[in-house]
Structure 1
Amino acid sequence: MPELPEVEVVRRGLARWVRGRTITGVDVLDPRSIRRHDLGTEDFIGNLEHATVLDVVRRGKFLWLPLAMSTPREATPEDLPQVALMAHLGMSGQLLMQDPDVPDEKHLKVRIKLSPVAGMPEQLRFVDQRIFGGLFVTSMVPTSDGGPGGLGETPLPEIAEEASHIARDPLDPHFSFDAFYRKIKNRKTGIKRALLDQSVISGIGNIYADEALWRARIHYARPTDTMRRADAGRLIEAVKDVMNAALAAGGTSFDSLYVNVNGDSGYFARSLNAYGRAGELCRRCEAVGLHSIMKREQFMNRSSYTCPVCQPRPRNGRW
């Protein structure tokens, strides 16, 4: 499942190619990929054709394209978009920019044609092998805090309705550490469970939670109500460091199903320090001459990877 850095890589790529362009046509090759659009294929196409893409916005792992019937030059914060094209990548969804002469991909589901711009591909293609992802049109609603809906190029105070329930993510300029700290102090749970709770902080999945906790030297079962402000601050900085390192590497790819808009896979998996390293030496301990072996434990039907030396389990740990 793509996590925040993977979705941000896609967002940045799309923003470069689609902002300000008009949708001139839509081909739905497999209606299963727009099943979340309750009003059907004709309504889906009708909402997209002749609309202008104002931006590409992300909050957590949610990605959407605000749409307007006016041109970008006419659109202002006072003329807010009413709808957006929401993209859910699922397990294998890919948004690819292609030229019309490029043969259709085997698992092509939706083709969106864009107004021509010199040197830019003219089609946005949604490809999905496993069909867990999809596209749909959704309403835009005001943000609860009056800030921008998410990370984008144009800071409009609206958010796609399906993303309005989640907290801001750590790479969002409007992310509030104070709000995050208040939420975890008011919970009686383990810190990793809190990191995976989208109402507390969004965009952190299992891989990056393990990596951030390893960097911060915090065990995943550390009770949130025992977290000191300095501990929480160290953890959030570790989360940001991991996310930014993954962004620089193009994301974490374990197979060919995650790619960016140009079809390239990321390579952050080569730099993982915790996730998937059970039975291997802890790199931090090894660097100071200690022989500590990374452990894998069951966690919420998933796995957690920790070092028993530099991430000791707390006596009063919680799941």
Structure 2
Amino acid sequence: MPELPEVETVRAGLDRLVVGAVVRDVEVFREYSVRRHAGGPAGFADQLRGVRVTGAARRGKYLWLPVAPAGGGEPAAALLAHLGMSGQLLVRDPAVAGEWEHPHLRVRLHLSGAPSGARYLDFVDQRTFGHLSVTDLAPTPDGAPGGHGSPLTAVPEPVAHIARDLLDPALDRDAAVERVRRRRTGIKRALLDQTVVSGVGNIYADEALWRARVHFARATDTMTRPVVRRVLDAATEVMTESLAQGGTSFDDLYVNVNGESGYFSRSLAAYGRAGEPCPRCGTPVRRDEFMNRSSFTCPRCQPRPRQGRW
């Protein structure tokens, strides 16, 4: 599933290529892809026709395009996207790429006036876990911008409960440390809880914990503030490095808006490396089952926790 660096890569592409465009028409090819929109496919299309895309913003794994009437005015709504496991937003100019259509095309926005000259913004989704909706914007409680990429002090209503992410300048890191320590759970479960800190998924949690030398099952309420901060700093570091390489791609289910893959998978130290030598000490990386998924650790660098405070 795309995590923060992958979604941020897509956001940056949309910011560059479609902000300023007017949505002239909307086609919904699969109703399930707009299942979260209260008005159904017809209402979804009606709310987008004639609006101007004024920005591209992100909080954690959620991405949205604030929209306003083409004739002027402030954004009061946004096109909200959650990519799920395989969702992609592709910016296309058929004059360059031809009229070929992706076999998993679910929704198409017809554009005019895009700075890139693009005519389509396509939502494609092979596994159909992703979704689009048009939603009202709500003011942020702290008065700070709602997400990275937009100065608006507002966030889509369905995202209001999502915590700020580790790359958000408005994040209160001391408060994030305390939220982790109050969870009374394993540290990896806390990292994956999007109401604690958003944007971290299975891949980057494993990489951050490896860098911080902390086992995924270590109890958060036994962790000191410096150790929690070390984990959060490691997660920030690994996601920043991944973002510089366009995210992590293992197959063609994650690509950026131009259909290109990221390369951070080549730099992973723990995730997916079961049986391979730890890059730090040479001990074979261990795989454990975790929440119907997998966790990858170095048994030497990240020893399994014992009872009591570390």
TM-score normalised according to structure 1 size: 0.92
The Cα offsets for residues 171-221 of structure 1, whole Å up to 9 and x where unpaired, read as: 111111111111122221111111011111111111100000000111111
Distance in 1 between residues matched to 2:125 and 2:182, nearest whole Å: 40
Amino acid at match of 1:125: D
Does the CA-based 8 Å contact 2:50-2:70 persist in structure 1? Answer: no
Could you say if the C-alpha distance between residues 118 and 228 of structure 1 is closer, same or farther in structure 2, counting changes exceeding 3 Å? closer
Matched residue type, 1:312: P
Q: Corresponding residue for 2:89?
A: 95
Counterpart for residue 52 of structure 2 = 52
How does 1:1-319 map onto structure 2 within 5 Å?
A: 1-70=1-70, 75=73, 79=74, 81-101=75-95, 102=98, 103-117=100-114, 119-152=116-149, 154-286=150-282, 292-316=283-307
Following the alignment from structure 1 to structure 2, what is the Cα–Cα distance between the partners of residues 61 and 52?
A: 23
Shift of 1:119: 4.5
> Is the deviation greater in 136-145 or in 32-41?
32-41
Alpha-carbon distance in structure 1 between the residues aligned to 2:51 and 2:13: 20
The amino acid across from 2:262 in the alignment is: G
Distance 2:169 2:176 in 1: 14
State the shift of 1:31 in Å. 2.1
Distance in 2, Cα, partners of 1:199 & 1:41: 30
Preserved CA contact (<8 Å) 2:18 2:116: no
Gaps of 5+ in 1: 287-291
**Any conservation in 1 of the 2:22–2:114 contact (CA below 8 Å)?**
no
Please state whether the residue corresponding to 1:261 is helix, strand or coil: coil
- Whichever residue aligns with residue 123 of structure 1, its letter is Y
Is contact 2:19–2:115 with CA below 8 Å preserved after alignment?
no
Moved more, 210-219 or 303-312: 303-312
Counterpart CA distance in 2 for 1:125 and 1:232 is: 40
Q: Distance in 1 between matches of 2:115 and 2:147?
A: 29
Number of equivalent positions: 306
Task: Give the TM-score taking structure 2 as reference length.
Answer: 0.94
CA distance in 2, matches of 1:65, 1:208: 25
% of aligned pairs identical? 58
Name whichever of 194-203 and 27-36 sits farther off.
Answer: 27-36
Shift, 1:295, TM fit? 0.9
SS in 2 for 1:284: coil
Q: Write the distance in 2 (CA, Å) between the matches of 1:58 and 1:24.
A: 24
The Cα of 1:118 is off from its aligned counterpart by 6.2
Which runs of at least 4 in structure 1 moved beyond 6 Å after TM superposition? none
Alignment deviations for residues 129-148 of structure 1 (CA, whole Å, 9 cap, x no partner): 22221211111111122111
Q: 1:314 to 1:93 in 2, by over 3 A?
A: same
